[in-house]
């Protein structure tokens, strides 16, 4: 089936494998009139680019984004925005030794069960390079949200056993681990060194905060804002858990603790005294910050020998070489942000007609 499209109005379709000619994305439904150039998107690409630190793969991709359609004189036209990155550094040869073995923790076996065909070159479609299309689309969504006063901040909150203990937004871009706490980042670096020396890898927790959300975004029942955010973020290969606001913390909480009392802020606007709900009530934004956390699993490609099975059903040992990060999360930060931006952009567009006076405002402006 067709699983490569996300969104209803702001609709994103990605394509491409790690070792084919390239990877790309088509963004359909972006409103016309958004200023958009390749240099607006590239900084997002650079945040997920390999080779930025010793904790990320040495693959030397420049990941230069190219806009192929959908803009005219530096402005979106409302038509599909096609973007592409050429693959330039695919060492296909690296993978031949594992072509008949299922890598533990990888998607190989699932794909083979499903399709009966296996593109063994670096994960094919399940490679992290697939997220390039998401990030490019997310960049556009973020630029759209910015025009509406909505901004997103995403960072690594914990690496292995090391959580952040302070929050300095400016620090996030300062260290290669995208942690908002320099001293935690230093400790985490040491921890990752140890993982690497042991041919091992580490999990992490990513947090994403959306500021400036209007209230009233999201649909009741199945297409709740938090439900679609959960899908969006769980669809990132490395993510195994998603929570909103206090998340799993609500298990041990009482109603009196967990309810957020409403109040009036200094500008006379309705607001909440606390934000245990993470900015979403009944699937609809309440105007507070949206707070999302997710769990990123340790890189499954580790260099030590592992037990597995071959395609012809024999028990074999596997050793995975090649270029692999000891941690996925730092490069996944911008992917989480992208999926969040795409989801919110789509909800803003699908929810414009919730009241008849809004429909009238667009279609009968003069009357």
Residues in 285-324 that interact with its own copies by CB under 8 A: 285-287, 295-302, 304, 306-309, 313-315
262 within 8 A of 272, measured Cβ to Cβ: yes
Q: Which is nearer to its own copies, 96 or 235 (CB)?
A: 235
Footprint on residues 230-269 left by its own copies (CB under 8 A): 230-235, 237, 240-264, 268
Q: Which stretch binds its own copies (CB under 8 A): 41-49, 54-62, 91-99, 120-128?
A: 120-128
Find the part of the chain contacting its own copies (CB under 8 A) among 42-50, 55-63, 171-179, 358-366.
358-366
Q: At its nearest, how many Å lie between its own copies and the CB of residue 96?
A: 13
Residues ≥6 apart with Cβ < 8 Å to 249: none
Residue 312 burial (CB count, 10 A)? 7
- State how far the Cα of 245 lies from the Cα of 248, in Å rounded to an integer: 9
Beta bridge partners of 60: none
Least separation in angstroms between CB 209 and its own copies:
16
Q: 191: burial class by Cβ within 10 Å (0-12, 13-18, 19+)?
A: middle
> What are the residues whose beta carbons fall under 8 Å from the beta carbon of 338, sequence distance 6 or more?
44, 131, 134, 135, 137, 138, 139, 141, 142
Nearest distance from residue 100's CB to its own copies, in Å? 13
Measured from the CB atom, the residue of 176 and 231 that comes closer to its own copies is 231
Q: What is the DSSP letter of 123?
A: T
Residue written as token pair 């070159």 = 121
Which of these ranges, 57-65, 166-174, 177-185, 216-224, lies near its own copies under the rule CB under 8 A? Answer: 216-224
- In whole angstroms, the minimum distance from the beta carbon of 323 to its own copies comes to 15
* Exposed / middle / buried, residue 59 (Cβ in 10 Å: 0-12, 13-18, 19+): buried
**153 phi, psi to nearest 5 deg:** -120, 130
Contacts of residue 349, Cβ cutoff 8 Å, sequence gap at least 6: 8, 9, 10, 29, 31
> What is the smallest separation between the CB atom of 175 and its own copies, expressed in angstroms?
19
Only segment of 37-45, 61-69, 174-182, 330-338 that touches its own copies (CB under 8 A) = 61-69
Nearest to its own copies of 170, 362 (CB atom): 362
C-beta closer to its own copies: residue 87 or 175: 87
93 binds its own copies (CB under 8 A): no
Q: Of these, 37, 58, 114, 211, which contacts its own copies (CB under 8 A)?
A: 114
Site size for its own copies (CB under 8 A): 171
Q: What is the residue-wise DSSP string for 75-117?
A: EE-SS-EEEEEE-----GGGGGGGTTBPPTTSSHHHHHHHHS-
Answer yes or no: are the C-beta atoms of 319 and 303 closer than 8 Å: yes
Residues in region 5-44 near its own copies by CB under 8 A: 5-17, 20-24, 26, 28-29, 31-34
Please select the residue that binds its own copies; options are 70, 128, 138, 330, rule is CB under 8 A: 70
Task: Restricting to residues 132-191, name those near its own copies by CB under 8 A.
Answer: 144, 147-149, 158, 160-161
CA distances from 313 to 96, 101, 306, 316, 317 (A): 18, 9, 16, 9, 13
């Amino acid at each position: 089936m067709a699983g490569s499209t996300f969104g209803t109005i702001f609709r994103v379709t990605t394509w491409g494998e790690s070792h084919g000619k390239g990877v790309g994305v088509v963004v359909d439904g972006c409103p016309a009139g958004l200023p958009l150039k390749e240099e607006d998107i590239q900084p997002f690409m650079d945040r997920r680019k390999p080779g930025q630190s010793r904790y990320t793969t040495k693959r030397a991709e420049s990941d230069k984004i190219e806009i192929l359609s959908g803009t005219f004189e530096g402005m979106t036209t409302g038509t599909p925005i096609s973007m592409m990155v050429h693959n330039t550094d695919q060492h296909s040869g690296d993978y031949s030794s594992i072509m008949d073995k299922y890598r533990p923790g990888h998607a190989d076996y699932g794909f083979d069960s499903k399709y009966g065909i296996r593109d063994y070159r670096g994960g094919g479609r399940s490679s992290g390079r697939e997220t390039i299309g998401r990030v490019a689309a997310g960049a556009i969504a973020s630029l759209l949200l910015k025009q509406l006063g909505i901004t997103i901040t995403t960072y690594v909150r914990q690496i292995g056993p090391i959580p952040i203990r302070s929050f300095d937004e400016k620090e996030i871009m300062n260290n290669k681990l995208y942690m908002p706490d320099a001293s935690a980042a230093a400790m985490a670096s040491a921890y990752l060194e140890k993982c690497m020396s042991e041919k091992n890898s580490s999990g992490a927790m990513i947090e994403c905060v959306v500021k400036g959300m209007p209230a009233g975004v999201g649909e009741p029942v199945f297409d709740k804002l938090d439900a679609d955010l959960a899908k969006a973020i769980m669809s990132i290969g490395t993510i195994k858990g998603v929570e909103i606001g206090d998340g799993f913390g609500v298990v041990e909480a009482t109603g009196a603790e967990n309810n957020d009392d409403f109040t009036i802020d200094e500008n006379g606007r309705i607001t909440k005294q606390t934000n245990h709900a993470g900015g979403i009530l009944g699937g609809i934004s309440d105007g507070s910050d949206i707070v999302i956390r997710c769990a990123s699993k340790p890189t499954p490609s580790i260099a030590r020998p592992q037990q597995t099975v071959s395609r012809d059903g024999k028990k074999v040992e596997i050793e995975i070489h090649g270029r692999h990060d000891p941690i996925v999360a730092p490069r996944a930060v911008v992917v989480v942000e992208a999926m969040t931006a795409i989801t919110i952009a789509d909800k803003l567009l699908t929810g414009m007609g919730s009241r008849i006076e809004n429909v009238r405002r667009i279609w009968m402006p003069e009357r």
